[in-house]
Chains A and B, each alone.
Chain A
Amino acid sequence: MSKINHVRLENFTAFAKLDQALSSGVNVIIGANGTGKTHLLKVLYAATAVTTGEDCEKGFARKLLGVFNPYQARMTRLIRRQQGLPAAEIMVTRDDGARLKAVIDNQKADVKDVRVTGATKWEGTGLESAYIPVKEMLAHAPGFLATASKREIAFEEVYVDIIKKAFLPKLKGAITANRQKLLSTLQKAIEGKVVAKGEYFFLKNRQGELEFTLLAEGMRKLALVWLLIQNGTLLSGSVLFWDEPEANLNPSLMGDVVEIILELQRQGVQVFLTTHNYVLIKEFDLRQKTGDAIRYISLYRNEEKAVVANASDSYTGIDPNAIAGTFSDLYDRELRRNLGGLIG
């Protein structure tokens, strides 16, 4: 199975020049708001999505358009805003040597004019993937796909895609012990299993069936992961993109989430996630076992205000660490409050 091993972005959205090697395991992307974490996730997702299913027909440029949804469908709006507006370049590489490249010319806003190269080899090997957006969508599934197919709606394509993935039926055949372990961990956290009736999802347990609209949003997210594992979307060789797994989740469940992500990685799933959450990254640090591959990619703005990255394969090497930095500030202020009489 080939993994995504490199990404290069030039003059694309917030990035002046990002040239980043990626882990075949878990990639944890951190950074302040506006440093392009979700953009990086979406670029990589667009690249994987076009290797399978109906997105094969769509091609990389149209998938980028769909997931970013720029105003008036103008691809030039994805070029980093600066004087002169040079072309934007995206290049994603896999470890089998396949290389997908897109160039957005500053004079040509139409998606048809985006120059994509390397697509034939890139799309030759399917890379199953799922993108879990920050906003939970399963509760809004009824009617959403039909509406999205007929109307112009202001939802990025990732929302449509994840509902489609969630609707995939259960994978045939026996469930391996590893997958069963994952499903059991999730069932314990959400206290039940997920069932679909038509376009409606329910959490089923001893008390009966609870419609998703009555379920806490954090629980719905975990229920979605349960569905993706159960229906075989997240199998060895697939890629999981998860934008802020911590959203709407109580910190006490973070350990379970990290354990599931690490276990998926152990089973051969490549993972890209973004986070603002200290508990989440600390859980990775504490739960990492020998052999687990975790890369922390810290995005930050340099003196020229361009987003650049620093990567580290250890928690302590994250620099700058915007999340821990915030805690340092809180801690210092707490000390000053507690010891004010001494310090002053």
Chain B
Amino acid sequence: MTVLSDGDLQITLPDGVAGRKFDDDASHGLSHCMKRVDFIVDLIDKILFVEFKDPDNPAARPKDRRCFMEKFGSGTLDNELKKKYRDSFLYEWASGRASKPIYYLVLIGASALSAAELLARTDALKRQIPVVGPGNRSWVKPFIAGCAVMNIDAWNRELPHYPVSRISP
């Protein structure tokens, strides 16, 4: 069983599933020019790009929390998430590892977010990262299979095999 953590959030992977921290200066080596998602999980027939955002982190300052929620509501965050996905995809593709369908999972550690807000951000992210190509035609080589913005409740409801939780009690 592998546990990947970032700040106060962690994801537990089932036995036999490999995952690695991608947002790591030493192993990434190109952080000066490429954005990166937090983790990459390698399943048998799929790849998960995982990004954690944690405004509810007990260590977060109220100012940072406020700042994040502004980014969340204004669409600035969508743009940031798009860049992280695009650069991470490019990095993995150029490394010869983007050979399976990739799902982009964004976890927002904010319990107060409603389904409407998460739905709006999921829609916005889909507009930023085109799942289908021009003219609503499928890409010859799709570069994303699906994406979603979730809070902890939604994640654990939809993806119970890869549970996420808080580290702090």
Contacts and interface: CB of A to CB of B under 8 A. Distances in A.
Nearest to B101: A341
Contacts of B44: none
Interface stretch (B11-19, B20-28, B30-38, B140-148): B140-148
Interface residues of B, number: 23
A342 B155 CA distance: 12
A303 B112 CA distance: 30
B146 A339 contact: yes
B46 A342 contact: yes
B154 A331 contact: yes
Nearest to B116: A327
Given A327-B115, A330-B119, A334-B119, A342 B154 contact: no
B158 A278 contact: no
Interface string B99-136: 00101010000001011101100110010000000000
Interface SS of A by simple majority: helix
Nearest to B45: A341
Contacts of B116: 278, 282, 324, 327, 331
A335 B158 contact: yes
B158 A339 contact: yes
Contacts of A316: 112
A96 B157 CA distance: 51
Contacts of A282: 114, 116
A252 to B, nearest CB: 14
Given A278-B116, A341-B145, A334 B123 contact: yes
Contacts of A327: 114-116, 119
Interface string A262-295: 0000000000000000100010000000000000
B159 A339 contact: yes
A340 interface: yes
B122 A334 contact: yes
A336 interface: yes
B98 to A, nearest CB: 16
B83 to A, nearest CB: 20
B150 interface: yes
A335 B114 contact: no
B18 to A, nearest CB: 16
Nearest to B157: A332
Contacts of B48: 342
A153 interface: no
Interface of B: 46, 48, 101, 103, 105, 112, 114-116, 118-119, 122-123, 126, 145-148, 150, 154, 157-159
Pairs A-B, 3 closest by C-beta atoms: A327-B116, A331-B115, A328-B115
Given A327-B119, A339-B148, 14 more contacts: A278-B116, A282-B116, A328-B115, A331-B115, A331-B118, A334-B123, A335-B148, A335-B150, A338-B147, A339-B103, A339-B158, A341-B145, A342-B46, A342-B103
